[in-house]
Amino acid sequence: MVGMFGHILIAFILSPFLVHTLGDTKYGIWTVAVAFTGYMNLMDIGLGSAVNKYVARYAGLKDQDKIDQIISTALVLFLVMGLVIILISPVMANLVVGILSLDETLKDVVYLLIIIVSFDVAIFVVRGLFKGVFGGYQSYTTINVILLLSAIYKAAMFYVFLSYGYDLISMAAISITANVLSLLAFYLLLRKFHPEVTISLKFSNKSSAGKILNFSKFTFLTMLANQVIYYSDAFVIGYFMSTAAITYYSIPWTLAEYAKKISRSISQTYAPAVSETDARDDIEKIHLLYLSGSRYMMITSNLLSVGMIVLGGAFIAIWMGPKYRELCEAVLAILFINLYFQGPQQISYSFLQGLGRQKAYSYVTVVVSVCNLALSIILVQKWGIVGVALAAAIPQVLFHGLYVPWLTLKTIGMPFRVYVYETHLKSFIPTMALGGSLYYVYNFHYPTSYLELLASAFCCTLFYLFLVMVLMLNKSEKQVLISLVRK
């Protein structure tokens, strides 16, 4: 969580600088490049999650030979994927330039930007092997430290180079160096902390490749669907509106995405733990893990969602300027209503992954992504970026609010009434009290500075967490929380 909050702090400080230095149009182009990166990451085809699962499983069984085979085989697959990304980059660059409504003076810049970003993605994909290995060993501190240092390096270099008049191309080059350095750090730390791991082409084999690809194909479908859901918006807006309009959408989208990452940073720690517990066939512990994890997810997600729905507009006005509040507030509210339903269910996907039972989830996610894209194309022409936000929210609310909890409860064999009582019913009063206190602040003490906003948010959060402690957490969870606070 410290690593995630570090990323959020960096984005909080850097984003206004990027928007105001690059301008709305060029920042919109950079957002498209980030979206393109998201799509190209699909070439990972879910291999990282497969490495995570099988390293955790074989570590629990203390089978080092299997771990070496999985890692070595995955490295070959990752290298092939990276090469494919580089080879198809000119085609993808032409495609992106053709989709966007750009001035002639910017087309060559965007083409070169996409080529450079493709090399960056190839390195990023290979880095995913080591991230998956450390995730399998549940060494999340190592992952977070490396990624946080990489983000700090990128932010510092962005500031320096943009201050001297450089812009998009230099940003892409900086991103490449950051990923190279983090890849090297992952490798060196793997050698230090897990010297028993041997990576060699002679350990790669068809059997391990079959396991990895069989597991990753469903994760790949989920990744594909999520990329369509999360990154198609930028292309739709760029095609039907303008690259400047992408900026007005990306500001609230970025806030919502970082809120999701906070939830994801909690949920992803459960996948290897569930895989290891499943290997021991401990159903009772899986049930306990799911209930406690769902409560933690709901506590965090509800706090972020309700807070931004009520005071998000004030935050944007202070953060980016009053102009952006007017342009972004409606989109922000819609995206965080979606997060209210989606955030708590991040834990469900981690459980399905850990159990290797994400097949149905993956298929339905593809349907949701297609609905999202189709609705975006329809609604953007009527309501602009607000229509795009609605197109993203409507299918997601139905999917995460109804289907995902039903599927997960059915998979782990937990009664619906137990889940509802332990999560939704116990969270109702704290969440309503949080909303009421924030609404009071909005109407009677509307914040116009960071100090006022932080003071109001802090007081409302303390009130909320007190009610959470009293009404939501059981005795053992309270003891865990108290020990964390003391540390």
Dihedral sign for Cα 90, 93, 99, 104, please. negative
Q: How far is CA 102 from CA 40, 238, 245, 370, in A?
A: 22, 9, 13, 26
Cα 85 to chain centroid, rounded: 22
Predicted pLDDT at 74 = 82
Together in a domain, 170 and 285: no
Q: With respect to residue 234, please indicate whether it lies within any of the assigned structural domains.
A: no
Together in a domain, 53 and 103: yes
Predicted pLDDT at 3 = 58
Residue among 33, 366, 17 at smallest CA distance from 157: 17
Together in a domain, 152 and 84: yes
Q: With respect to residue 138, please indicate whether it lies within any of the assigned structural domains.
A: yes
Between vectors from CA 312 to CA 321 and to CA 349, what angle results, nearest 5°?
A: 130
Q: What are the pLDDT digits (tens) for 326-356?
A: 889 999 999 999 999 998 898 998 888 778 7
Residues 286, 280: Cα–Cα separation, whole Å: 11
Residues 143, 166: Cα–Cα separation, whole Å: 31
Residue that terminates a domain, selected from 163, 185, 209 = 209
Predicted pLDDT at 272 = 72
Residue that terminates a domain, selected from 165, 185, 209 = 209
Together in a domain, 282 and 368: yes
Q: With respect to residue 293, please indicate whether it lies within any of the assigned structural domains.
A: yes
| DSSP code for 41 | G
Distant-in-sequence, close-in-space partners of 101: CB < 8 Å, separation ≥ 6? 238, 239, 241, 242, 243
Distant-in-sequence, close-in-space partners of 246: CB < 8 Å, separation ≥ 6? 28, 29, 31, 32, 234, 237, 238
Dihedral angle at the C-alpha atoms of 157, 162, 163, 166, nearest 10 degrees? 120
Residues 194, 344: Cα–Cα separation, whole Å: 33
Together in a domain, 187 and 248: no
Domain that holds residue 202: 1-209
Q: With respect to residue 372, please indicate whether it lies within any of the assigned structural domains.
A: yes
Q: With respect to residue 359, please indicate whether it lies within any of the assigned structural domains.
A: yes
Residue among 249, 274, 208 at smallest CA distance from 379: 249
Q: With respect to residue 214, please indicate whether it lies within any of the assigned structural domains.
A: no
Tally of structural domains, the chain: 2
Residues 102, 205: Cα–Cα separation, whole Å: 47
Together in a domain, 315 and 383: yes
Together in a domain, 349 and 433: yes
For residue 240 the two structure tokens come to 């039907």
For 300-303, the CB contacts below 8 A with 24+ separation are 300/262, 300/263, 300/266, 300/343, 301/259, 301/263, 301/339, 301/340, 301/342, 301/343, 301/344, 302/340, 302/343, 302/344, 302/427, 302/430, 302/431, 302/434, 303/434, 303/461, 303/464
Predicted pLDDT at 139 = 84
Predicted pLDDT at 70 = 87
For residue 258 the two structure tokens come to 């970082």
Residues 36, 304: Cα–Cα separation, whole Å: 27
Residue that terminates a domain, selected from 163, 187, 209 = 209
Predicted pLDDT at 278 = 79
SS (H, E, C) 8-21: HHHHHHHHHHHHHH
Asked whether the beta carbons of 56 and 280 are under 8 A apart, the reply is no
Predicted pLDDT at 367 = 85
Q: With respect to residue 8, please indicate whether it lies within any of the assigned structural domains.
A: yes
Predicted pLDDT at 211 = 77
Q: What are the pLDDT digits (tens) for 409-440?
A: 999 999 999 999 999 999 999 999 999 999 99
Identity of residue 314: A
Together in a domain, 189 and 316: no
Q: With respect to residue 221, please indicate whether it lies within any of the assigned structural domains.
A: no
Together in a domain, 138 and 246: no
Predicted pLDDT at 477 = 72
Together in a domain, 160 and 247: no
Together in a domain, 190 and 328: no
Predicted pLDDT at 216 = 60
Residue numbers in the chain where pLDDT is lower than 70: 1-4, 36, 38-47, 215-231, 480-481, 483-487
Together in a domain, 182 and 290: no
